[in-house]
Amino acid sequence: MKTSYFKQSFWIVLLATLIFIGIKEFLPARLFPEKTATAGSNIVADSLMLEAMAGKEIEKVISQAADSVAQSKRLREADQYLIGFFKKLQALETTKKGKIRIGYYGDSMTDGDLIVQDLRALFQEAFGGKGIGFLPIASESAKSRASVWHSYSNTWKTQSYVNVKHPKRPFGVSGQVFFTQGNGTWVQYKSSNQPHITQLYAPALYYGRSGNQQAHVEITYNDTVKVTKPLPADHLLNILPLTDGKNTKAVRLRFFQSDSIPFYGISSTEHQGVFVDNFSSRGNSGLPITLFNTDLMNQFDKAFGGYDLIVLHFGANVLNYGSLDYSWYEKGMTKVVNQIRASFPETSVLIISTADKSTKVNMEMQTDKAVVPLANAQRRYAHNTHSGYINLYELMGGRGSMKQWTEANPSLASKDYTHFNARGAKKVAHLIYNRLMNEYKQFKTPTVSTLVRANDTLPQHIDSLRYSAN
């Protein structure tokens, strides 16, 4: 009886295996992914996106961030498309005075300052400006970033909007907030030799409010000069000049009795030319931006002289979650843009779509089925929010382009068929910059400028930046 039972089980398993092998070729190839087809180790999802993908309604996911100011703010002419940015760029080009500040929010595509460092260099070469922009206290990519030497002690406590909804203090402009843990906690920055960023230009420390009256910081700059300064923390955002207006090659900060103070990072206090801040966070879908505290962001905006352009470059972490319907993402990112406009009232907004991504199908690397639906969803929410839009997928060559970039000699992307390497990132920066400059030149011509201001029927040839409803 026992033998009969095992014989029966054996024949059932064998029959099932034969049937499976027989019908496998007729099943969708994506049921059998291989390791080389999966996203790289940097592809993770933020907490808000995970909730949305688990079936929770997007309105409930980000309800705690539904800022009434962000929801009710009405668009002005300067908010719509890239009109305001182009006007300010033209004023800088004409007068050679003033500044342009760009905040570039992204995911692992811009990790290590990739793409952004080259875009920064292009803008500064053409329009002037010196400095690397805002630098957070700690960074996932500190060791791999070539545009600045950045190190810090292991006694910092970091809270990021990617995985924390309710921080001890509001997130800073980079989406993070940092706390010291014990006396002597330190951070150090040293400028690189890349053009236009060979110094830290009159750097200042940015930190938040606390009732702490004893905190102080020891500042060492140029490796020799040491000063000690108190850390008054009476305001929502406090700014401490580190070198009394002087430039320095390096600065090291050691903190004492400061554990209750929220710290954010350093930035140049010069206001001439173009500044580009890289706010990259691995695993970010873009949705965590809804967690920004509008009052604190208004203070950052004021301290920096006002953002003129905010770039939202997301997508890698939104692909491949089982559905080609991205309506939930459109709704969420529409709220993100509203939050951005409430946080930085004078800014224009530019949406950069997902890049191409390859997945193995029938033993061949092909464009993932989710790429085009996601890029279309990004185009739609750009249109709905009157934001600029660049389709990076099309700009890099469209279908099959990531395969070509990865297998080029020399290669332009990594073997995960998702992320650009340094060569590819430089090329992407040039593609984005050239696209912007082409539209900027057309903006300066009277006929196109008039059409853009009308905001009713937009010309087809500027569709990528100012979405046409046609």
**Hey, how many other C-beta atoms are within 10 angstroms of the C-beta on 36?**
12
**Hey, how many other C-beta atoms are within 10 angstroms of the C-beta on 147?**
22
Residues 191 and 338 in one domain: no
Domain for residue 379, yes or no?
A: yes
pLDDT at 462: 38
Residues 220 and 125 in one domain: no
Residues 323 and 452 in one domain: yes
pLDDT at 451: 38
Domain closes at, from 226, 250, 271: 271
Secondary structure, 3-state, 424-446:
HHHHHHHHHHHHHHHHHHHHCCH
pLDDT at 404: 97
| CA separation for the pair 87, 344 (Å, rounded) | 17
Residues 329 and 379 in one domain: yes
Domain closes at, from 215, 246, 271: 271
Going by C-alpha positions, the residue among 252, 246, 245, 259 that lies closest to residue 207 is 259
Residues 240 and 287 in one domain: no
Going by C-alpha positions, the residue among 101, 134, 147 that lies closest to residue 205 is 134
> Half-sphere exposure of 164 toward its Cβ, with a 13 Å CA cutoff?
17
Distance in Å from the first CA to the final CA of the chain: 74
- Structurally, the chain folds into a number of domains equal to 2
Q: What is the pTM of this model?
A: 0.84
| CA separation for the pair 327, 316 (Å, rounded) | 17
Average pLDDT per 10 consecutive residues for the chain, totaling 470 residues = 55 60 45 35 61 64 49 50 94 94 96 97 96 95 92 97 94 98 97 94 97 96 91 97 94 97 94 93 94 97 97 91 87 95 96 95 92 96 95 97 97 96 98 96 69 35 38
Going by C-alpha positions, the residue among 69, 289, 258 that lies closest to residue 176 is 289
Contacts of 202 (CB under 8 A, 6+ apart): 241, 243, 245, 246, 247, 268, 269, 270
Q: Look at the chain and count its residues.
A: 470
**Hey, how many other C-beta atoms are within 10 angstroms of the C-beta on 107?**
25
Domain for residue 12, yes or no?
A: no
Residues 439 and 290 in one domain: yes
Quote the domain boundaries for residue 54: 31-129+272-470
Going by C-alpha positions, the residue among 306, 300, 248 that lies closest to residue 136 is 300
pLDDT at 35: 36
pLDDT at 41: 41
Residues 148 and 124 in one domain: no
Residues 142 and 73 in one domain: no
Residues 464 and 342 in one domain: yes
Residues 279 and 416 in one domain: yes
Domain for residue 335, yes or no?
A: yes
Residues 226 and 285 in one domain: no
Domain closes at, from 237, 271, 305: 271
Domain for residue 14, yes or no?
A: no
